[in-house]
Structure 1
């Protein structure tokens, strides 16, 4: 089972227990979005990152699972906003994204993120 499958299954399992959850698809191929049957141009996501505003959230066909969708056209943006700065921007955008979620599942390409970066994200 791959990372995307694991992320989608984790989100679905939390939903089955009655918990609202948010899945953030940062995979360059929009893999979690495809699993949930959501197709999106990614323009709203790019706008949110550029302006540091709340991320666009859509309801998936799976009850209690909301999604910040991605798609292959965002590959350049993901590369541009990679690294510590990109994670800080993502953290700010997540902090400005409102919903009644109990958990967030973030699915992305393999990229090592240092414990220091995660600590900084937790402080945003």
Structure 2
């Protein structure tokens, strides 16, 4: 009687393994919460629409006061503003030489692992 039950159990498990390629055990070494940080793409352009390298971009979380400052690359872009800024509204400004930009706003929302900006990229226009 015990052999019959054991045989049915083995056959049942064999059937499950054949259906989906085997039993899967989560890999404790791979934690999706520690993967790469989510970043915001910020592009700075001048009044004519040309990309501005070396512009200083400041992002400030209006709820916490946490601030990040970075400089645009030769392509006029920075991705230094990331989810470490925290959830809530973030105000962005740029300064290219002596020319400031108008501000833009991004809202970061968070789940149990990551925060995501909306919108996912921003273009800041320097004033003439």
Task: Quickly name the TM-score band, shorter chain normalised.
Answer: under 0.3
Name the TM-score, length of structure 2 as normaliser.
0.24
Higher relative contact order (CA 8 A, sep 6+): 1
Instruction: Determine which structure has the larger strand proportion and give its number.
Output: 2
- Structure showing greater radius of gyration is 2
